[in-house]
Amino acid sequence: MPGYESKSQRPLRRFLYDCVGIKRRFRRMKKTIFHIVILSAIVAGALLVFVDKAVHMDDTLFIWTARQIIERPWDFYGFSANWDGKAAQAVEIIKNPPLAAYYLAAAGYFYGFTERALHMAFIIPAVFAVLGTYALSRRFTSMPLAAALAAFATPAFLVSATTLMCDVMMLAFWVWAVFFWVKGVDEGRGAYLLAGALFIALASLTKYFGVSLIPLLAAWSILRGKKGLKSLLYLLIPLVVLGAYQLYTGYIYGTGLLLDASAYSTRIGAESTADLYEKAFIGLAFAGGSIIIALFFLPAIWGLRAIIPGLMIASGAAFYAYKKGELGFVAFFGPGFGWGYMAELSVCAATGAAIILLVLYDLAKKRDAESILLALWVLGTLAFTVHVNWTINARSILPMAPAVGILLVRAAGNAGTARLLVPLALSFAVSFLVAWGDYSLAGSARDAAKHISGKYSGEGRLWFQGHWGFQYYMEAAGAKAIDWKESRVMPGDTIAFPFNNTGLRLMKEESITVAEELKYTPSALVSTMTLGPGAGFYASEWGPMPFMLFPPNDERYWVVYAR
């Protein structure tokens, strides 16, 4: 009879179905492996360009800590340093946990503390952060490759990945924690939940912001109902680890460093003179500039539906800035600034606003647990950056990059990866340009330090003001940082003074004689920390957006003799 299947034919049918299933799984596996290879090659290839980047900004603190760890691994902050004009204990200066420094110590111990060796080591966390975003995106989108590339092709990610600081390593632990936790809750697998809990602990010991994973993933568990509630017990693991860290550092240093860092951010934030609206505006500008891919993605996805509202928001941002007249230390119509700068700032702020609208759009359209998780991820990061962290900066915006990448691809629907190549390429080009500007800025400090130390070291005692990478290279050449309480600068001593730095004090004209003025132009196209100010990728005190096109001022250094 038609459609009749004998008992002897049933095993054959099952065998054929199994073969088809295996073939499909094999095809999916080949596609996944291909994507992993592509992502790894793109990330590593892009970062290899910057492997000889000079020690820059707070890289110096992490290298100091790594060297201390090699000598006394149990006493990671048991040293003192001059970081703001006076000698202080490391626990008073450094407000990050030490896990990234341990990684740096391992790289330095085996391969040496050269810029090339250390940056090569830090490519690995960057690759794992992008691969973690890809793994998580497979759960949330149908185009995980595009989502992972969208997270990478941002100034926040690319610039941070060229530093020796903890941000990208924390992000790598972060995305894998979310991946394993989501998978563990969905499948009811304790092994995945355990892995997620351990990654939460690792993220928290890399950068304290990782602690926010606990409420974020607790929210996911609650949203998933009964099976999610059972997973909440696993969150005790990172809590126990953090409690042990608090007790250990309290025993070693007299104060628990977890709560100390929280108190520091609260205290510094309370001292800010910016009002609530001003901080919110700067936060939007940093979000939009740091995750610039939204500027290119949304018009490609929605066309006029994105362009017209975007122009309206940008116009509103320009009007707000014009009425304010200044933000922080930036006067919009002072020397070197004007309508061009205001246009840059307005576009960044409008892009930041668009990211928030993207979150709301996803919530309204999808109305699922994934939408809520992504919304809490993005909005929580932004709220922390604006209202909790000691300064607004792109490094604090970085954790939202994977979530924004996923949201953009979710909004694209069935657009297809090919349609998204142009906005991805544009965003990567801008991000690479910003990273190159930061690379050049770091190099100018190294060049200045080498020139000054090489020329003036033999003329008596050589002092310097300023910190960051400039301090690292000056001290490596034997110069001394001025301690405003203890140092005794004598007539005839030489002092180097970087204008674009921190911890500076002006010296009376009658007490010095200028021996030389040095000028460097790191990049005529873009700057991440402008002398002016104008842009402050690492601290909004330097400017209300993360990078500035066509910076108006060169990097300047004075070498003076004390009278």
Per the domain annotation, does 493 fall within a domain?
yes
Per the domain annotation, does 461 fall within a domain?
yes
Is 90 exceeded by the pLDDT of residue 511? Answer: no
Model pLDDT, residue 164:
96
Q: Where residue 22 falls among pLDDT bands split at 50, 70, 90?
A: low
Model pLDDT, residue 279:
85
Per the domain annotation, does 200 fall within a domain?
no
Interatomic CA distance for residues 313 and 347, integer angstroms: 9
Domain extent, residue 502, equals 438-562
Interatomic CA distance for residues 467 and 459, integer angstroms: 22
Per the domain annotation, does 155 fall within a domain?
no
Q: Where residue 5 falls among pLDDT bands split at 50, 70, 90?
A: low
Indicate the number of domains in the chain: 1
Per the domain annotation, does 518 fall within a domain?
yes
Per the domain annotation, does 534 fall within a domain?
yes
Phi-psi sector, 543: left (phi>0), alpha (psi -120 to 50), beta: left
Model pLDDT, residue 1:
45
Q: What is the pLDDT of residues 123-169, one digit of tens each?
A: 999 999 999 999 999 999 988 999 999 999 999 999 999 999 999 99
Residues 6+ apart with CB under 8 A from 132: 172, 174, 175, 176, 179, 402
Model pLDDT, residue 72:
94
| Percent of the residues in the chain that have a pLDDT greater than 90, as a whole number | 52
Q: What is the pLDDT of residues 346-362, one digit of tens each?
A: 888 889 989 999 999 99
Is 70 exceeded by the pLDDT of residue 26? Answer: no
**pTM (2 decimals)?**
0.90
Lowest mean pLDDT among 192-206, 308-322, 535-549: 308-322
Is 90 exceeded by the pLDDT of residue 48? Answer: yes
Interatomic CA distance for residues 346 and 276, integer angstroms: 18
Per the domain annotation, does 427 fall within a domain?
no
**Packing angle of the helix pair 421-456, 144-152 (nearest 10 deg):** 30
Per the domain annotation, does 537 fall within a domain?
yes
Helix (H) or strand (E) holding 66: helix 59-71
